[in-house]
Amino acid sequence: MKYPNGRKRAPLAGNRSEQNNLVNQYSNRGMTLEDDLNSTNEFYLQADKAIIHKKPTPVQIVNVNYPKRSAAVITEAYFKQASTTDYNGLYRNKYVDFEAKETKNKTSFPLANIHEHQIRHMEAVVKHGGICFLILRFTVHDETYLFPAERLFPYWKKRMTGGKKSIPYEVIKEEGYIIPFQYQARLDYLRIIDKLYF
């Protein structure tokens, strides 16, 4: 089978029912949230729906080993500065900015996964009229949610004043928006943005 990104999937061994069981059992294994979002954003770009990219992490390269010119290996590097959020871009004349996080936790999303400088950045984006949110994947439940930044801020403030250090899974289910897994736009979060902001 040839997928839209040009990669081929090798045929599975065994009879048809064994193959179907294997495909169902391993359908999303090995795919990270980042892989799914990058694929989705590439689809959006190719379909001329939105321009959203993963932000590069600013790194200062200190030492490089050159065994051959074509095989240079970075042996030492440092983060230049704390990064803000993972993705940003434009959709329907609006600035879009979001952070993507995966958790293996069954019952909550730990707020320790978000940093204060990221919250400040998200607050500034919202203040200036941008669309800002988290995309959270609960790997145990195999569910991915869009959680608006405006709903994240109260939980962060409570945490900073001695409150809970996480957002319960049930709250994210109730206050967030599930993003179903699809074929082309694997995580079609623009459909949720359309409902929330347009």
Buried b (16+ CB within 10 A) or exposed e, 62-95: eeeeeeeeeeeeeeeeeeeeebbbbbbbebeeee
Each residue's pLDDT, cut to its tens digit, for the chain (198 residues) gives: 444 444 444 444 444 444 444 333 334 444 599 999 999 999 999 999 999 999 877 667 778 888 776 777 878 776 665 678 999 999 999 999 999 999 999 999 999 999 999 999 999 999 999 999 999 999 999 999 999 999 999 999 999 999 999 999 999 999 999 999 998 899 999 999 999 999
Look up tokens 């059992």; give the residue: 25
Per-domain residue ranges of the chain: 26-56+84-197
CATH class of 26-56+84-197: alpha beta
Burial of 109 (0-12, 13-18, 19+ CB in 10 A): buried
Annotated binding-site residue? 86: yes
Annotated binding-site residue? 194: no
Phi and psi, residue 147, nearest 5° = -125, 110
Annotated binding-site residue? 19: no
pLDDT at site 80: 61
**pTM attached to this predicted model:** 0.76
**What's the CA gap between 118 and 83, in Å, rounded?**
8
pLDDT at site 137: 97
pLDDT at site 79: 63
pLDDT at site 58: 65
Annotated binding-site residue? 99: yes
Could you tell me which residues are beta bridge partners of residue 4? none
